[in-house]
Amino acid sequence: MGSISDKGFGKEGMGVGVRLGIEDGGRTSGLWMCEKFNVPVRRDVAGELQEFWNEVKHGRLRPHEFLEKHNVMLQTGLLELLDILKGTSALHFNSTDNKIGIGNDATGADPVQTDLIGASKTYIAMDSGWPKTRTDDGALGYGVWQSKATFGTGDANYAWNEAVIKNTNVSSSKCLCRAATGWGTKTSAATWVATHTLTLS
């Protein structure tokens, strides 16, 4: 398993993007995970993605590498969340609009950034059933919101240096978070799975 290189508050690599000034030390944190499989899955072929996940579920297919990275919460994305909470925005990070984006720029993450920076970038829709909360999966904590997307043989075949969670509704186009990942270069011979877990505590 890959190691998490940085911890703390503020910019790139920090485990907590926002510190709340309350007695119990409430916080918001985001963790990215990348699972690398040496199999070419064609997402546009009916049933192939489902067959891939069935093989993973039954232990017949395992990732050859598993990496983790903490992210930075972005100001525009946090504002969008607060507007959703107060009812002034209906642009939800749901199964239709929520996507995971992967780019090739290695610039360190900063809260003032608004999207992927690289010249190469790909946004992939959620896997079936995601995003999830404890309502959908009792194994998740009460303050957990999780997104997952599978990048198949034809997706994002370049250096995976950055990742975002993005609301791709044309009226929003807001990114919730960004990480400078440094996960290596994906090729068409591989399928990589990106999972993001947001925890409020």
Residue spans of the domains in the chain: they are 18-200
| Predicted confidence (pLDDT) per residue in 139-170, tens digit | 899 999 999 999 999 999 999 999 999 999 88
Residue whose tokens read 């598993």: 66
pLDDT digits (tens, 9 = 90+) for 36-63: 999 999 998 989 999 999 999 999 999 9
Q: Rounded mean pLDDT of the chain?
A: 88
Q: How many residues are recorded in the chain?
A: 201
Burial class of residue 147, CB neighbours in 10 A (0-12, 13-18, 19+): buried
